Amino acid sequence: MKLVIGIVRPEKANDVLEALYRAEVRGVSISRVQGHGGELERVETYRGTTVKMGLSEKVRFEVAVSDPFVEPAIEALRDGAQTGEVGDGKIFVVPLERAVRIRTGESDEAAVTPVGG
Amino acid sequence: MGAFEAAIAVAQVDSGDTAWMLTSTALVLMMTIALGVFYAGLVRAKNTLNTFMMCISSLAIGGIVWALLGYSLAFDGEGAILGGLGHVALNGVGLEPQPGGTVPHLVFFAFQGTFCMLTLALISGAVVERMRFGAWMVFATLWSILVYAVLAHWAFGGGWLAQEGVLDFAGGVPVEMGSGFGALAAALVVGARKDYGRQALLPHNTVYVLLGAGLLWFGWFGFNGGSGIGTNDAGVLAFVNTMLTPACALFMWFVLDLIRGRKVTAVGAATSIIVGCVLITPAGAFISPAWAMVLGFLGAIPCYAVIVWRPRTRVDETLDVLAAHGIAGFTGILFLGLVAQFAWNGVADGLFYGDAGQFASQALAAAVAPAYAFGVTFVLLKVLGALMPLRSTEHEEAVGMDVVHHGEEAYLTGEGAILITPESGDEGEVPVANPI
With cut-offs at 50, 70 and 90, classify the pLDDT of residue A109: confident
For B400, which residue in chain A has the nearest alpha carbon? A11
According to the model, what pLDDT value does residue B270 have? 98
Report chain B's mean pLDDT, rounded to a whole number: 93
A9/B398 Cβ within 8 A: yes
Q: Is the pLDDT of residue B213 over 90?
A: yes
Which regions of B236-290 does DSSP assign to beta strands (E)? none
Is B424 or B290 the better-scoring residue by pLDDT? B290
Phi, psi torsion values for B26, nearest 5 degrees: -65, -35
Q: Would you say A90 and A37 are in contact if contact means Cβ atoms under 8 Å apart?
A: yes
DSSP 8-state symbol, A26: -
Give the mean model confidence (pLDDT) for residues A76-93: 92
Q: Which residues contact B199 (CB under 8 A, 6 or more apart)?
A: A14
Q: Is the pLDDT of residue A10 over 70?
A: yes
Is A24 or B216 the better-scoring residue by pLDDT? B216
B408/A51 Cβ within 8 A: no
Q: Is the pLDDT of residue A38 over 80?
A: no
d(CA B240, CA B225): 8
According to the model, what pLDDT value does residue B8 have? 53
Per-residue pLDDT of B89-127, as tens digits, reads: 999 999 999 999 999 999 999 999 999 999 999 999 999
With cut-offs at 50, 70 and 90, classify the pLDDT of residue B172: very high
Per-residue pLDDT of B147-170, as tens digits, reads: 999 999 999 999 999 999 999 999
Per-residue pLDDT of B5-40, as tens digits, reads: 555 545 589 999 999 999 999 999 999 999 999 999
Residue ranges per structural domain of chain A: 2-112
With cut-offs at 50, 70 and 90, classify the pLDDT of residue B414: confident
CATH number of A2-112: 3.30.70.120
Q: Is the pLDDT of residue B399 over 50?
A: yes
Give the mean model confidence (pLDDT) for residues B416-432: 61
DSSP 8-state symbol, B125: G
With cut-offs at 50, 70 and 90, classify the pLDDT of residue B407: very high
According to the model, what pLDDT value does residue A48 have? 84
According to the model, what pLDDT value does residue A37 have? 80
d(CA B263, CA B271): 15
Phi, psi torsion values for A62, nearest 5 degrees: -125, 120
Facing B420 at nearest CB: one of A37, A51, A85: A51
Facing A51 at nearest CB: one of B395, B418, B433: B418
Facing B420 at nearest CB: one of A11, A14, A50: A50
Considering chain B, what percentage of its residues have pLDDT values greater than 70? Answer: 94
According to the model, what pLDDT value does residue B278 have? 98
Contacts of B403 in chain A (CB under 8 A): 42, 44
According to the model, what pLDDT value does residue B436 have? 38
Q: Is the pLDDT of residue B132 over 80?
A: yes
Contacts of B401 in chain A (CB under 8 A): none
d(CA B12, CA B436): 74
d(CA B408, CA B378): 31
Q: Is the pLDDT of residue B330 over 90?
A: yes
Q: Is the pLDDT of residue B427 over 60?
A: no
Contacts of B432 in chain A (CB under 8 A): 41, 52, 54
With cut-offs at 50, 70 and 90, classify the pLDDT of residue B4: low
Q: Would you say B38 and B269 are in contact if contact means Cβ atoms under 8 Å apart?
A: no
Q: Would you say B124 and B147 are in contact if contact means Cβ atoms under 8 Å apart?
A: no
The alpha-carbon gap from A105 to the nearest alpha carbon of chain B, in Å, equals 35
According to the model, what pLDDT value does residue A112 have? 79
A46/B432 Cβ within 8 A: no
* Pick from B293, B305, B216, B207: nearest CA to B256: B305
With cut-offs at 50, 70 and 90, classify the pLDDT of residue B415: confident
Please provide the DSSP assignment of B358-399 as one string. HHHHHHHHHHHHHHHHHHHHHHHHHHHHHHS--B--HHHHHH
The alpha-carbon gap from B414 to the nearest alpha carbon of chain A, in Å, equals 8
Task: Enter the pTM of the model.
Answer: 0.90
Q: Would you say B362 and B166 are in contact if contact means Cβ atoms under 8 Å apart?
A: yes
According to the model, what pLDDT value does residue B421 have? 75
For A40, which residue in chain B has the nearest alpha carbon? B435
According to the model, what pLDDT value does residue B7 have? 52
Contacts of A43 in chain B (CB under 8 A): 407, 420, 427
List residues of chain B with CB under 8 Å from any CB of chain A: 199, 395, 398-399, 403, 407-409, 413, 415-420, 427, 430, 432-433, 435-436
According to the model, what pLDDT value does residue B423 have? 63
Choice among A93-102, B119-128, B233-242, B414-423 with the minimum mean pLDDT: B414-423
Q: Is the pLDDT of residue B248 over 70?
A: yes
Complete domains list, chain B, with CATH: 3-395 (1.10.3430.10)
Contacts of A32 in chain B (CB under 8 A): none
Q: How far is CA A115 from CA A62, A63, B116, B189, in A?
A: 18, 15, 59, 47
Q: Is the pLDDT of residue B2 over 70?
A: no
d(CA B351, CA B358): 7
CA angle B225, B228, B231 (to 5 degrees): 75
According to the model, what pLDDT value does residue B293 have? 98
With cut-offs at 50, 70 and 90, classify the pLDDT of residue A114: low
Q: Is the pLDDT of residue A117 over 70?
A: no
Q: How far is CA B219 from CA A109, B37, B179, B195, B258, in A?
A: 62, 13, 18, 34, 29
For B194, which residue in chain A has the nearest alpha carbon? A11
Phi, psi torsion values for A29, nearest 5 degrees: -115, 145
A46 touches chain B (CB under 8 A): yes
Q: Is the pLDDT of residue B290 over 90?
A: yes
A47 touches chain B (CB under 8 A): no
d(CA B266, CA B273): 11
